Amino acid sequence: MLCVGGDWPVDQVRAGQALQRVLLTATDLGLSASLFSQPIEVVTVRGQLGRMVRRGGLPQMFIRFGYATSAPPGNRRPVAEVIVD
């Protein structure tokens, strides 16, 4: 769970910066991540989760890490069909 000390815009920016660093580090280690924000979108649940965190803070995102198999590439149109001069 990614938490920050407050709920001001500056705290939200810091949470985004921390999330970026965590995801880049996970990628560098060969890990995949799944993000969950639904539980923290309910104000009462978010408050309860914040109290459960021993260091305090307001939850911003749940992150699950693990190793995943590679997915096949998606079907893409040729560039000539997408870019028109």
Q: Which residues pair with 32 in a beta bridge?
A: 66
Question: Is 26 part of any domain?
Answer: yes
> What pLDDT shows up at residue 44?
86
**Through-space distance between the first and last CA atoms of the chain, rounded to whole angstroms:** 47
Per-residue pLDDT of the chain (85 residues; tens, 9 = 90+): 898 888 899 999 999 999 999 999 999 999 999 998 888 888 888 888 888 877 778 888 889 999 988 888 888 888 888 887 7
- Total number of domains constituting the chain: 1
What tens digit of pLDDT does each residue of 15-32 get?
A: 999 999 999 999 999 999
Q: Tell me which residue range forms the domain holding 52.
A: 2-67
Token pair 């995943």 in the structure block, residue: 68
Cβ-Cβ contacts under 8 Å for 40 (sequence gap 6 or more):
46, 49, 59, 60, 61, 62
Question: Is 48 part of any domain?
Answer: yes
Question: Is 78 part of any domain?
Answer: no
Question: Is 29 part of any domain?
Answer: yes
